[in-house]
Amino acid sequence: MKNKILLPLGLLFSISSFSQRITYGGAGGTNIANMRGDAVKNMQQLLNFTNDIVSTNAVTGYYAGGFVNIPVGNNFSIEPALYYTTKGYQLNGSYSVKDISFLTANATAKLNSSYIDMPVLLKANFNGLQVFAGPQVSLLTNASLKTTAGIAGFNLLNNKTDITSQFNQWDIAVTGGIGYQLSNGLRITAAYDRGLSKVNAGQSLSAYNQGFKIGAGFSF
């Protein structure tokens, strides 16, 4: 009878002790987003004939959200998270008339997209140094294309168009990186996201999201 009583008490104590090690937190930072794929390669090949008049650029955005860290061993944990993340892609064009420096034409086409990122990370912790990787599912919330053009300092075009319907609603990716967490819960991380499913809907050529995230967070 004594053993029958002690066993449930022991299990209850173990579960309580484990749950106390589960931590919650928030994180955010900068996301340097870009795209890759056949569509991007073909565009880049065309741009090579412009003699650098037109070029592609990454889009600097941000991410912010929260996470739950669940220990599964002395040095390992599983960390599901939920982040709002801005991504995109940009084309820039600039042309100056020779010997007339003030007569310069500029044009920009910028894709801005917003996602709810849901990564599930496996993390290894070595005295504060963390290495992590895992799958990520993202839900598209909005996509827009902003085009601007001007010459000699005058704006000739400034247009923003909603193109959410031209993109797939879901995106699948893998993510991984490194970080360091102090004993007070403060953490610094750097990660790379690589999309595995094409984002452009109904197109024969594929385009995939990718980006570098640098940020900080705090674990409670």
Each residue's pLDDT expressed in tens, for the chain with a length of 220 residues:
545 445 444 544 454 445 558 999 999 999 999 999 887 776 666 556 556 655 778 999 999 999 999 999 889 999 999 999 999 999 776 655 555 555 566 778 889 999 999 999 999 999 999 999 999 999 999 999 998 887 756 676 788 999 999 999 999 999 999 999 999 999 999 999 999 999 988 777 789 999 999 999 999 9
Q: Where are the beta strands (DSSP E) in the chain?
A: 23-36, 54-57, 59-71, 76-96, 104-126, 129-151, 154-162, 170-181, 186-195, 208-219
Query: How would you classify residue 12: left for phi > 0, otherwise alpha for psi between -120 and 50, otherwise beta?
Result: alpha
Instruction: Say what the pLDDT of residue 65 is.
Output: 98
Q: Could you tell me the CA-to-CA distances from 170 to 24, 29, 117, 139, 142 in Å, in that order?
A: 26, 23, 10, 5, 12
Query: Do the Cβ atoms of 79 and 44 come closer than 8 Å?
Result: no
DSSP 164: G
- Taken in order of first residue, the domains within the chain and their CATH numbers are 22-219 (2.40.160.20)
Gyration radius from the chain CA atoms: 23
Instruction: Say what the pLDDT of residue 158 is.
Output: 83
Rounded Cα distance, 213 and 89, in Å? 15
